[in-house]
């Protein structure tokens, strides 16, 4: 994608020069495109005014990824949705969110990031209003996809704005706030939704979306200044199409695998076809003049390690949220509010790790051990939770929530900083977009893969005897349906669901452990300062691979 103008601007200060779009550096003490910038005091005031608005917009779209999870049991009862449809209701938001992020960032670059933010919030709000009136799974899935497209316009501007606004010495804490909000917003959205469901139906969750979108839109109109790159190249629409088709076909095949069969021609052919399209996307981007994402950037070890860490963390996180909220309500019998409150300690642990521990540990021991420690804690937390039974006490869940949350908080902050600081200042927009993409893609894949692993085990394990085939198939369609087919069927269904959840979370733990090993290898001290490959089209705007940010991270790692 093209580089956001705001992301090209290094923090201003007494020694700052003027950074134009040509990449030349002057000595006027301002920074900006074409020699027009904001002086240090004004920049500080701007950052103080914009940060709360950026955080609100970020929280609005991130919370929507998980907030509907707590309403899945009531949605299944009201709309008769199957377990596969429940997966789609959640992933229909996450998938277009991830697939369109890079295009959303490029649209903001070309036509104005404030305009993109306004348009995204308007689409998000309008889709939520329409969802208040639906009563079938199909329409709910379609409108969730509309919300995801709006979110893809909103999110790309957030992190790049932070990296451009805050001075280098304050940026780690600002990034920590961003990672804390990005991680905790999902759980806070779940908590708020649980509270709403105590008094209203699942449609009230969409009412919350409307309220947040309206407030964020009003604040954006008042506070956020317009910025655009008049020299931005044409949009890579074909690359965006390949992304949407490749991810869509792959995720569709994974989600439908429990009903079609993992070894069926439809499943295997769909997964192979989706991966082939994604391989074509990589080949296209390597040749494109103005790629959405240059794959050569992943040749930088710190960049690749940070991206891998973020992707795997959110793979496990959103898959865990999707499964455990159903477990708490349909197996343990908790109310929506109690289920949401049960996850609150994890949210606090994420914030503590992201804003407290990580910023203090990284300057002392470096980013590498902190990211690895975080991923190890994530692995441990998922393994503990994977041992839950239908009759387990809450303390057994808490014993896994605390290391899972603390590990995510520890790993997210330095991994995010690794992505943004491993690249030169002129590539900060790309780093921000990839960081956002890693989160949403990891979440979409986690919901699809872990949900399908659980559903496959559930269907295989649930074989109630003495019932008509039609009733058996209804029970196997979802736990919410099986719970209403008599106590014996409900008991067997709950046991089958727990077996599936245990296997799925064990898979997530294995993925986190493998990611820890990969990060350890990628961030070896003797190789951390690898050069940054630049897109062929970077031209004079490209700067030396050994930027101050890249050198700083290399020394810390």
Closest CA relative to residue 252, chosen from 100, 148, 96: 96
Q: Would you state the structure tokens that stand for residue 416, as one six-digit string?
A: 């995010």
Residue 535 falls inside a structural domain: no
Q: What is the pLDDT of residue 145?
A: 95
Residues 6+ apart with CB under 8 A from 15: none
DSSP per-residue codes, 494-516: HHHHHHHHHHHHHHHHHHHHHHH
- Residues 369, 283, single domain; the answer is no
Residues 6+ apart with CB under 8 A from 343: 187, 190, 191, 321, 324, 325, 401
Look-up: residue for tokens 């309220």?
A: 211
Phi, psi of 552 (to 5 degrees): -60, -45
Q: What is the pLDDT of residue 241?
A: 93
Q: Are 240 and 100 in contact (CB under 8 A)?
A: yes
Residue 220 falls inside a structural domain: yes
Instruction: Assign 393 to helix, strand or coil.
Output: coil
Q: Tens-digit pLDDT profile for the chain (557 aa)?
A: 433 333 333 333 333 333 333 333 333 333 333 333 344 455 555 556 777 888 888 899 988 988 899 999 999 988 989 889 999 999 999 999 999 988 887 887 778 778 888 999 999 999 999 999 998 999 999 999 999 999 998 887 776 667 656 677 777 777 677 766 776 787 788 889 999 999 999 999 999 999 999 999 999 888 877 776 667 678 888 999 999 999 999 999 999 998 888 889 999 999 999 999 999 999 999 998 888 888 988 888 888 999 999 999 999 999 999 999 999 999 999 999 999 999 989 988 988 888 888 889 988 988 899 999 999 999 999 999 999 999 999 999 999 999 999 999 999 889 988 887 777 665 666 667 788 889 889 999 999 999 999 999 999 999 888 788 888 888 898 898 888 888 899 999 999 999 999 999 999 999 999 999 999 999 885 344 444 444 443 333 333 333 333 433 443 44
- Residues 60, 194, single domain; the answer is yes
Q: Would you state the structure tokens that stand for residue 320, as one six-digit string?
A: 């865990």
Closest CA relative to residue 178, chosen from 318, 335, 56, 279: 56
Residue 354 falls inside a structural domain: yes
- Residues 427, 323, single domain; the answer is yes
- Residues 494, 410, single domain; the answer is yes
Q: What is the pLDDT of residue 62?
A: 86
- Residues 164, 254, single domain; the answer is no
Instruction: Assign 237 to helix, strand or coil.
Output: helix
Residues 6+ apart with CB under 8 A from 374: 309, 313, 353, 358, 406, 407, 408, 409, 410, 411, 412, 414, 415
- Residues 319, 446, single domain; the answer is yes
Q: How far apart are CA 210 and CA 222, in angstroms?
A: 18
Closest CA relative to residue 31, chosen from 57, 5, 54: 5
- Residues 492, 453, single domain; the answer is yes
Q: Are 188 and 418 in contact (CB under 8 A)?
A: no
User: Between the CA of residue 240 and those of 80, 87, 107, 315, 438, what are the distances in Å?
Assistant: 34, 24, 11, 22, 16
Q: What is the pLDDT of residue 110?
A: 78
Q: What's 406's domain CATH number?
A: 1.20.1250.20
Closest CA relative to residue 8, chosen from 101, 173, 225, 22: 22
DSSP letter at 328?
A: I
Q: How far apart are CA 106 and CA 513, in angstroms?
A: 34
Q: How far apart are CA 188 and CA 344, in angstroms?
A: 8
C-alpha triplet 365, 15, 306: angle, nearest 5° = 35
Task: Give the count of domains, the chain.
Answer: 3
Q: Would you state the structure tokens that stand for residue 363, as one six-digit string?
A: 């300057």
DSSP per-residue codes, 133-168: T--SHHHHHHHHHHHHHHHHHHTHHHHHHHHHHS-T
- Residues 378, 400, single domain; the answer is yes
Boundaries of domain holding 146: 49-225
Residue 383 falls inside a structural domain: yes
- Residues 210, 275, single domain; the answer is no
- Residues 362, 383, single domain; the answer is yes
Residues 6+ apart with CB under 8 A from 223: 49, 50, 53
Phi, psi of 19 (to 5 degrees): -110, 115
Residue 425 falls inside a structural domain: yes
Residue 549 falls inside a structural domain: no
- Residues 172, 254, single domain; the answer is no
Residue 519 falls inside a structural domain: yes
- Residues 187, 93, single domain; the answer is yes
Q: What is the pLDDT of residue 473?
A: 87
Residue 378 falls inside a structural domain: yes
């Amino acid at each position: 994608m093209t580089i956001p103008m705001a992301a090209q601007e290094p923090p201003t200060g007494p020694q700052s020069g003027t950074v134009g779009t040509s990449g030349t550096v002057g000595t006027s003490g301002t920074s900006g495109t074409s020699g027009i910038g904001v002086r240090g005091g004004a920049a500080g005031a701007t950052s103080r005014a914009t940060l709360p608005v950026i955080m609100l917009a970020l929280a609005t779209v991130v919370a929507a990824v998980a907030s509907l999870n707590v309403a899945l049991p009531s949605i299944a009862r009201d709309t008769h949705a199957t377990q596969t449809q429940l997966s789609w209701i959640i992933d229909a938001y996450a998938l277009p969110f991830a697939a369109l992020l890079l295009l959303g960032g490029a649209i903001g670059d070309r036509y104005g990031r404030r305009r993109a933010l306004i348009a995204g919030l308007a689409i998000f709000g309008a889709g939520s209003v329409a969802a208040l009136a639906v009563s079938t799974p199909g329409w709910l899935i379609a409108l969730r996809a509309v919300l995801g497209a709006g979110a893809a316009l909103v999110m790309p501007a957030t992190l790049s704005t932070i990296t451009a606004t805050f001075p280098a010495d304050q940026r780690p804490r600002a990034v920590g706030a961003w990672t804390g909000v990005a991680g905790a917003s999902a759980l806070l959205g779940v908590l708020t939704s649980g509270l709403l469901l105590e008094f209203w139906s699942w449609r009230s969750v969409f009412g919350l979306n409307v309220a947040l979108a309206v407030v964020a839109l009003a604040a954006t109109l008042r506070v956020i200044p317009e910025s655009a790159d008049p020299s931005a190249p044409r949009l890579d629409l074909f690359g965006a199409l390949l992304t949407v088709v490749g991810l869509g076909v792959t995720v569709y095949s994974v989600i439908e695998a429990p009903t079609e069969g993992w070894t069926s021609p439809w499943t295997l052919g769909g997964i192979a076809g989706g991966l082939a399209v994604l391989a074509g996307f990589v080949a296209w981007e390597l040749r494109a003049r103005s790629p959405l994402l240059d794959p050569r950037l992943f040749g930088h070890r710190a960049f690749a390690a940070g991206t891998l860490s973020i992707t795997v963390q959110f793979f496990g996180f959103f898959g865990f949220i999707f499964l455990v909220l159903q477990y708490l309500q349909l197996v343990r019998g908790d109310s929506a509010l109690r289920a949401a409150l049960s996850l609150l300690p994890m949210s606090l642990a994420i914030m503590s790790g992201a804003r407290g521990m990580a910023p203090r540990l990284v300057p002392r021991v470096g980013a590498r051990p902190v990211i690895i420690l975080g991923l190890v804690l994530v692995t441990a937390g998922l393994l503990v939770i994977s041992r839950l039974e239908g009759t387990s006490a809450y303390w057994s869940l808490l014993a896994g929530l605390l290391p899972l949350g603390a590990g995510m908080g520890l790993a997210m902050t330095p991994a995010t900083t690794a992505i943004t600081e491993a690249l030169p200042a002129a590539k900060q927009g790309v780093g921000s977009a990839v960081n956002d993409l890693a989160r949403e893609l990891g979440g979409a894949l986690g919901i699809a893969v872990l949900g399908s692993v659980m559903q496959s085990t559930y269907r295989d394990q649930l074989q109630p005897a003495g019932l008509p085939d039609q009733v058996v198939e209804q029970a196997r369609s979802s736990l919410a349906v099986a719970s209403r087919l008599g106590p014996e069927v409900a008991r067997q269904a709950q046991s089958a669901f727990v077996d599936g959840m245990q296997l799925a979370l064990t898979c997530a733990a294995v993925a986190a452990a493998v990611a820890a090993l990969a990060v350890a290898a990628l961030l070896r001290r003797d190789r951390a300062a690898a050069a940054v490959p630049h897109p062929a089209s970077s031209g004079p705007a490209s700067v030396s691979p050994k930027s101050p940010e890249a050198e700083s991270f290399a020394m810390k790692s």
